[in-house]
Chains A and B, each alone.
Chain A
Amino acid sequence: SQKIEQNSEALNIQEGKTATLTCNYTNYSPAYLQWYRQDPGRGPVFLLLIRENEKEKRKERLKVTFDTTLKQSLFHITASQPADSATYLCASSPNSGNTPLVFGKGTRLSVIA
């Protein structure tokens, strides 16, 4: 079956370092991947989308890569700050039609001052 997985449940890093989160997919080839941020007690908030023909996408201190050979997307936060502490979710859909998004279980990032 089609799966999207975030292997790390939790990640702790020091303030100022680059956080790297991983999202892997199996048994399908997504046309795109999305990344969301979720703070405790709140709904997820969209951050970035990367399409299969894009190797890299940037937004301020955020960078997302998409490697179709490795079947993987990496999400980077550079110069991390305690305010970046949250759960980050990746999501995708088997095709670009009007189909539901499937989410990974998320990685809880803690940035330690």
Chain B
Amino acid sequence: NAGVTQTPKFQVLKTGQSMTLQCAQDMNHEYMSWYRQDPGMGLRLIHYSVGAGITDQGEVPNGYNVSRSTTEDFPLRLLSAAPSQTSVYFCASRTSGSSYEQYFGPGTRLTVT
């Protein structure tokens, strides 16, 4: 099992560019989520999905889109990058049911100039 994988590991964007952060898991988990982590702010939920075809917004969804066409993949799209989106992004997955542990990917460090 590879667990949760994320690509790329590092990315630099210019303001206004768009890109997609990839996330995949091979544990057949129904639940997947995206967090961003900033110094002093902790992990903040961007979007989450309880299964293929179902997504919902988290605490900080503005400027991001998600889709879930398969159980395995949950890409995060930045529509028009802004410096405020400079952060470390983590994808996570778990079995359905919120008491179960979450498995996190290694993260993507994004810098927007």
Number of A-B contacts (CB under 8 A): 61
Say whether B41 faces chain A, with CB atoms less than 8 Å apart.
yes
Known pairs A43-B106, A43-B107; A100 contacts B58 (CB<8 A): yes
Interface string of B20-36 (1 = CB under 8 A from A): 00000000000101010
Which residue of A44, A45, A89, A99 is within 8 Å of B98 (Cβ)? A99
Q: In this assembly, does A69 line the interface, its C-beta being within 8 Å of a C-beta of chain B?
A: no
- Complex Cα distance, B100 from A97, in Å, reads 11
Residue among A41, A45, A97, A102 making CB contact with B45, cutoff 8 Å: A102
Residues of B contacting A89 with CB < 8 Å? Answer: 42-43
B97 touches A98 (CB 8 A): yes
Q: Report B52-73 CB contacts with A as 1/0, cut-off 8 Å.
A: 0000001000000000000000
User: Whose C-beta in chain B lies nearest to the C-beta of A42?
Assistant: B106
Query: What is the size category of the interface that chain A forms with chain B?
Result: 20 to 34
| Contact of A34 (CB < 8 Å), options: B90, B101, B107 | B101
* A46-B98 in contact (CB<8A): no
**Distance in Å: Cβ of A45 to nearest Cβ of chain B:** 7
Task: List, in ascending order, chain A residues with CB within 8 A of B102's CB.
Answer: 34, 36, 44, 46, 91, 101
Give A88 to B35 CA distance when docked, in angstroms.
Answer: 16
A97:B98 contact, CB within 8 angstroms: yes
Q: Output the residue of A31, A46, A98 with the most chain B CB within 10 A.
A: A98
Task: Output the residue of B4, B97, B99 with the most chain A CB within 10 A.
Answer: B99
Q: Is A51 an interface residue (CB 8 A)?
A: yes
Please, what's the 1-or-0 string for A28-70, where 1 marks a CB less than 8 Å from any CB in chain B?
0001101010000111111001010000000000000000000
In the complex, 17 of the A-B residue pairs with CB atoms within 8 angstroms, ordered by the A residue number, are A34-B101, A43-B104, A49-B99, A49-B101, A89-B43, A96-B97, A98-B31, A98-B96, A98-B97, A98-B98, A100-B33, A100-B45, A100-B48, A101-B33, A102-B45, A103-B43, A104-B42
Chain A residues packing against B (C-beta within 8 Å): 31-32, 34, 36, 41-46, 49, 51, 89, 91, 93, 95-106
